[in-house]
Amino acid sequence: MWTLIKAKMNKNYKIFDVLLKLHPTPAICGTPWNVAQKYILDVEEHDRGLYSGNIGWFNYNGSGEFAVGIRSALIKDTQLYAYSGCGIVEGSEPQSEFEESEIKLKPILSLFVDEKIYQS
């Protein structure tokens, strides 16, 4: 799922003003985002790394296109770091959410079928 947002911006706004208003999205952080973000920072013991960052391009004319990186990977030295997440809401079942996150990682991990995978 995704939502396309197109707009012609007022000349007083820059593309980064829009990104700051849109990120983090409710799908990434929750809502209201300031309460949810504080909770996540207090509870999560790991660094999200590239997960949920803005990925895209912009130019000097103010044009750009961005997406939220909810499934991504980073190869650093000899290590692959793969990122995905779950939409934890009231009533979520932890085991189901964990299994869903594993399914989301399959396209990335399938590229490395002959490699040993360690989960943290």
Closest CA to 51 of 77, 33, 72: 72
pLDDT in tens, 76-116: 888 888 888 777 777 888 899 889 888 989 998 898 888 77
Six-digit token pair at 103? 């399914």
Residue 64: which domain range?
Answer: 8-69
Q: How many domains does the chain have?
A: 2
pTM metric for this prediction: 0.61
Last residue of a domain, one of 53, 69, 85: 69
Going from the C-alpha of 27 to that of each of 22, 36, 63, the distances in angstroms are 11, 11, 25
Assign 13 a pLDDT band (cuts: 50, 70, 90).
confident
Question: What does residue 101 show for φ and ψ, rounded to 5 degrees?
Answer: -65, -35
Residue type, 61: N
Checking if the pLDDT of 57 tops 90, the result is: yes
pLDDT in tens, 19-46: 888 878 777 788 888 888 898 889 888 7
Going from the C-alpha of 118 to that of each of 72, 76, 81, 91, the distances in angstroms are 17, 15, 10, 29
Return the pLDDT at 58: 92
- Are 49 and 83 members of one domain? no
